[in-house]
């Protein structure tokens, strides 16, 4: 016996089960269907403004930077200011997300805006996050033409816009939102949880930023009115 | 073909490791950092122990239903457009992966970190067939240049110093100006980033491991701090996931439970920088991502561990905390263990997967201090499992004759309390006579101890005599 047949035969032999046992099947079907939550830390369970404050703190703990804006109109100026502060050319790339299309980029006359995935040639990208988690300062990104995955990893600087209302306390809340958008068992091709900029501890266990992904991560939270 | 087992030579390996000045320097540096970072992260999460308990129970539930969760997982991978391949052993896994690479006419393969591929010896297998695997995790890249294997689960180049890395880079990156300055760790990192960026973009196939597989959705999960696993799987024509069968978890919520433990206990972060959930290949309208998505599920002896004395070992989530807190690992490092998995978890897993004949030395390399069990995020009773192996090794007469006769000799006394008391009180008097009030520098028949340290001369009476006196006094 090889492959699948061998693996399953040996698992069942060791567990001394037939695989036809109804109680066992029902136990796993129930768990998959109900997806009960485990122990969820109290840390993220806060009211709106306090949750935003926790998110801000945790983003900084993760060595990313963050700015809180009153509305979307302020995004272009915040992006331009960030690029200037890092001595970068006024140029960004983003995907087809409608929320990004509604941002008045033209207000920054010198800012060059291109669209599409990254081929590694861009220094800065802007993405719109699907959600965020205050507990750990994590951004939740989903793949697709709206926010191509390569924009999360190839440019040196990744700027991410987050709506305040999308900041959840915990991961479980974001999973429920994924279910709402993609169906009960549905997932986008890729979900990226991003917590700070890329780093490595592989040289003498010292944490250094900028391994293979972005050297810096800048989060722009747009307040909900 | 799988990675050769050098574990029977543990004693010789350990001796060599103790004499290796570079290694000793590297080990001394790493020990404190890991312990302190984990402690700080755990203290900040009041629910940590409650999460550990639920993670332990959840793993036990998964293992008891492993066949059914794997069936559900397989069904959902296929529903999402992916392919599932099953491999009973290392050879089969390598053949499957080589088959996919060959069909896609792959010249180079980018690789994210995978201990399972170390287990199967995948890199050597592909190289022999003309396909060039390139490790992209910085630590794995360094040891690939050095022709070594990982010495730690999450810090594969733990045993290498900065100066050694500089020398390796100068030797390997011959296109770069020889006068360049590589004094700072940041310049080493920048050089590796630039070298590997080209490789990511050129690779035909990307191979990653998996930290978890989610049955509910058919997703594979990887965690990295570097982002190398993401570039590996996003830029290539095909993404191949190589994973062992016990990595399956029921739902996304269950994955969250384990993820809250993994980074904290491994590196002291609340969460690794990148936690990536991958489900199938590029979809309609996607501007990027792999065109094919394959999962190769390896058994390689794990199914034999179910339902038996060593099932608890399959709860392991590969965080490395047990070795970070192990006095034996701190002294000899990972390579002395002689196969893929070092430290206490390796001492239990290695004999389970390669047999007690070859791996039986490892469970003896323990002081039984119990720190590994104390810090294990899924509460694996590692000392108990090591003791199980010692018993089995004894039953099967695999120990050296001196150890067996020594134990028999000791047992003859231990089973007869009066004789034991008489013998120990005589022995104590003799030792005191030799050592006086100080320490004994050499003892006949105990040179294994006195060669490296003094033996304290006993003072006063035996423990049993003192105990008896106290009981009478009360």
Q: B211-225, B254-268, B328-342, B391-405: which range is least confident on average?
A: B391-405
Q: What percent of chain A has pLDDT above 90?
A: 94
- When pLDDT is averaged across residues A69-81 and rounded to a whole number, the result is 98
Cα dihedral value B454, B459, B464, B467, nearest 10 = -130
Query: B235: which chain A residues are within 8 Å (Cβ-Cβ)?
Result: 150
How many angstroms separate the CA atoms of A209 and B261, rounded?
23
Task: Single out the residue of B313, B231, B316 nearest to residue B274, CA to CA.
Answer: B231
Q: In this model, does residue B1 exceed pLDDT 60? A: no
Q: Which A positions 44-83 lie with beta carbon below 8 A of chain B? A: 58, 61-62
How do residues A44-56 score in pLDDT, each as one tens digit? 999 999 999 999 9
Q: B173-177, B376-380, B469-473: which range is least confident on average?
A: B469-473
- What is the set of domains in chain A, with CATH numbers? 1-36 (no CATH), 46-222 (3.40.50.10420)
Task: Give the ipTM of the model, two decimals please.
Answer: 0.98
State the DSSP H helix or E strand holding residue B32, giving kind and residue range, or none if neither: helix B21-43
For residue A204, give the nearest of B162, B201, B257 by CB distance. Answer: B162
DSSP classification of residue A197: S
Q: In this model, does residue B473 exceed pLDDT 80? A: no
Task: Single out the residue of B105, B90, B73, B71 nearest to residue B238, CA to CA.
Answer: B105
In angstroms, how far is CA A78 from the centroid of its own chain?
20
The answer to whether the CB atoms of B272 and A17 lie below 8 A apart is no
How do residues B195-208 score in pLDDT, each as one tens digit? 999 999 999 999 99
Q: Which B positions 48-107 lie with beta carbon below 8 A of chain A? A: 50-51, 54-55, 58, 61, 64-70, 72, 76, 80, 85-88, 92
Q: In this model, does residue B474 exceed pLDDT 80? A: no
The answer to whether the CB atoms of B273 and A191 lie below 8 A apart is no
**Backbone φ/ψ region at B209: left (φ over 0), alpha (ψ -120 to 50), beta:** beta
Given this model, what pLDDT does residue B397 score?
81
The CA-to-CA distance between both ends of chain A, in Å, stands at 64
The answer to whether the CB atoms of A175 and B299 lie below 8 A apart is no
- When pLDDT is averaged across residues B21-41 and rounded to a whole number, the result is 91
How many angstroms separate the CA atoms of A98 and A78, rounded?
19
Exposed/middle/buried for residue A22 (C-beta within 10 Å: 0-12, 13-18, 19+): exposed
Q: B224-233, B404-413, B432-441: which range is least confident on average?
A: B432-441
Give me the residue label for tokens 């999450």.
B154
Q: A39-43, B261-265, B290-294, B432-436: which range is least confident on average?
A: B432-436
Given this model, what pLDDT does residue A19 score?
66
Q: In this model, does residue B191 exceed pLDDT 70? A: yes
For chain A, what percentages of helix, strand and coil (3-state, to nearest 5) are there? 35, 25, 40
| Mean confidence (pLDDT) of chain A | 96
Nearest CA in chain A to B299: A7
Q: Indicate the pTM of the whole model.
A: 0.93
Q: A28-32, B374-378, B435-439: which range is least confident on average?
A: B435-439
Given this model, what pLDDT does residue B447 score?
77
The answer to whether the CB atoms of A195 and B272 lie below 8 A apart is yes
Q: Which pair of structure tokens corresponds to residue A56?
A: 């801000």
Q: In this model, does residue B458 exceed pLDDT 90? A: no
Give me the residue label for tokens 């709860």.
B315
| Mean confidence (pLDDT) of chain B | 94
Tell the CATH topology of B7-11+22-33+45-302: Rossmann fold (3.40.50)
The order of strands in the sheet holding B292-298 is: B83-87, B292-298, B238-244, B205-208, B108-111, B132-135
How do residues B272-317 score in pLDDT, each as one tens digit? 999 999 999 999 999 999 999 999 999 999 999 999 999 999 999 9
State the DSSP H helix or E strand holding residue A220, giving kind and residue range, or none if neither: strand A216-222
A200 touches chain B (CB under 8 A): yes
pLDDT band for position A209 (50/70/90)? very high
Say if CB B166 and CB B155 are below 8 A apart: no
Q: Where in chain B is the domain with CATH 3.40.50.10420?
A: 7-11+22-33+45-302
Task: Single out the residue of B177, B172, B184, B142 nearest to residue B159, CA to CA.
Answer: B142
pLDDT band for position B432 (50/70/90)? confident
Q: Which pair of structure tokens corresponds to residue B394?
A: 């004894």
Q: Which residue stretches of B147-203 are H helix?
A: 162-172, 185-202
Q: Which pair of structure tokens corresponds to residue A31?
A: 């768990």
- When pLDDT is averaged across residues A113-137 and rounded to a whole number, the result is 97
Q: In this model, does residue B245 exceed pLDDT 90? A: yes
Q: What DSSP string describes B407-452? A: HHHHHHHHT-HHHHHHHHHHHHHHHHHHHTTSEES--TT-HHHHTT
In total, chain B counts a number of residues equal to: 474
Candidates B44, B153, B271, B283, partner chain A, best to mutate (most A CBs within 10 A)? B271
- When pLDDT is averaged across residues B149-163 and rounded to a whole number, the result is 94
Task: Single out the residue of B80, B71, B139, B79 nearest to residue B289, CA to CA.
Answer: B80
Q: In this model, does residue B59 exceed pLDDT 80? A: yes
Q: What DSSP string describes A96-161? A: --HHHHTS-GGGSTT-EEEES---S--SEEEEE-SEEETTTTEEEEE-SSSS-THHHHSSSEEEEE
Candidates B23, B92, B225, partner chain A, best to mutate (most A CBs within 10 A)? B225
Q: Which residues pair with A140 in a beta bridge?
A: A131, A193
Q: In this model, does residue A80 exceed pLDDT 90? A: yes
Q: What percent of chain B has pLDDT above 90?
A: 80
């Amino acid at each position: 016996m090889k492959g699948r047949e061998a693996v399953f035969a040996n698992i069942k032999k060791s567990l001394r089960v037939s695989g036809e046992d109804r109680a066992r099947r029902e136990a796993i079907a129930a768990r998959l269907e109900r997806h009960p939550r485990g122990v969820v830390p109290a840390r993220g369970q806060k009211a709106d403004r306090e949750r935003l404050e926790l998110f801000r703190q945790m983003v900084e703990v993760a060595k990313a930077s963050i700015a809180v804006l009153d509305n979307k109109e302020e995004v272009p100026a915040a992006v331009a200011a960030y690029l200037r502060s890092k001595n970068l050319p006024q140029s960004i790339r983003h995907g087809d997300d409608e929320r990004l299309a509604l941002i008045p980029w033209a207000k920054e006359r010198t800012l060059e805006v291109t669209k599409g995935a990254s081929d590694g040639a861009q220094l800065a990208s802007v993405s719109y996050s699907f959600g965020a988690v205050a507990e750990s300062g994590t951004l939740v990104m989903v793949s697709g033409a709206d926010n191509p995955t390569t924009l999360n990893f190839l440019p040196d600087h990744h700027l991410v816009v987050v709506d305040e209302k999308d900041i959840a306390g915990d991961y479980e809340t974001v999973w429920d939102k994924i279910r709402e958008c993609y169906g009960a068992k549905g997932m986008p091709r890729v979900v990226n949880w991003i917590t700070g900029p890329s780093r490595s501890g592989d040289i003498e266990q010292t944490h250094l930023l900028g391994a293979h992904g972005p050297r810096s991560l800048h989060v722009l939270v747009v307040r909900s009115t | 073909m799988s990675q050769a087992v050098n574990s029977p030579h543990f004693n010789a390996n350990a001796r060599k490791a103790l004499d290796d000045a570079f290694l000793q320097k590297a080990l001394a540096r790493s020990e404190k950092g890991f312990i302190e970072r984990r402690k700080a992260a755990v203290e900040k999460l009041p629910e940590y122990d409650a999460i550990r308990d639920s993670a332990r129970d959840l793993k036990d539930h998964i293992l008891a239903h492993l066949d059914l969760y794997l069936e559900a997982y397989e069904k959902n991978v296929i529903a999402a457009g992916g392919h599932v391949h099953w491999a009973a052993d290392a050879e089969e896994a390598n053949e499957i992966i080589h088959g996919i690479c060959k069909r896609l006419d792959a010249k180079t393969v980018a690789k994210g970190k995978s201990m399972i591929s170390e287990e199967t010896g995948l890199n050597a297998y592909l190289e022999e067939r003309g396909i060039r695997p390139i490790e992209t995790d910085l630590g794995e890249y360094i040891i690939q240049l050095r022709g070594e294997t990982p010495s730690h689960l999450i810090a594969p180049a733990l045993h290498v110093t900065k100066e050694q890395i500089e020398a390796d880079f100068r030797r390997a990156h011959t296109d770069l100006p020889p006068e360049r300055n590589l004094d700072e760790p940041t310049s080493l990192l920048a050089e590796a980033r630039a070298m590997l960026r080209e490789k990511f973009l050129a690779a035909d196939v990307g191979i990653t491991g998996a930290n978890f597989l989610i049955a509910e959705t058919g997703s594979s999960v990887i965690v990295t701090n570097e982002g190398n696993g993401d570039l590996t799987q996003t830029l290539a024509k095909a993404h191949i996931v190589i994973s062992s069968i016990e990595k399956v978890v029921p739902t996304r919520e269950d994955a969250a439970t384990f993820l809250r433990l993994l980074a904290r206990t491994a590196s002291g972060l609340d969460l690794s920088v990148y936690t990536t959930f991958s489900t199938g290949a590029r979809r309609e309208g996607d501007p990027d991502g792999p065109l094919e998505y394959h999962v190769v599920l390896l058994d390689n002896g794990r199914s034999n561990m179910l339902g038996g004395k060593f099932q608890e070992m399959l709860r392991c989530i590969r965080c490395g905390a047990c070795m970070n807190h192990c006095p034996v690992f701190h002294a000899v490092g990972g390579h002395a263990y002689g196969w893929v998995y070092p430290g206490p978890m390796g001492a239990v897993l290695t004999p389970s997967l390669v047999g007690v004949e070859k791996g039986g030395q490892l469970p003896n390399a323990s002081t039984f201090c119990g720190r590994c069990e104390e810090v294990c995020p899924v509460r694996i009773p590692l000392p108990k499992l090591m003791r199980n192996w010692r018993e089995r090794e004894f039953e099967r007469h695999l120990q050296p004759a001196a150890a067996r006769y020594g134990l028999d000799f000791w047992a003859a006394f231990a089973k007869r309390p009066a004789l034991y008391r008489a013998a120990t009180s005589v022995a104590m008097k003799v030792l005191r006579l030799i050592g006086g009030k100080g320490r004994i520098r050499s003892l006949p028949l105990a040179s294994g101890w006195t060669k490296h340290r003094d033996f304290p001369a006993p003072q006063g009476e035996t423990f049993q005599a003192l105990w008896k006196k106290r009981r009478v006094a009360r």
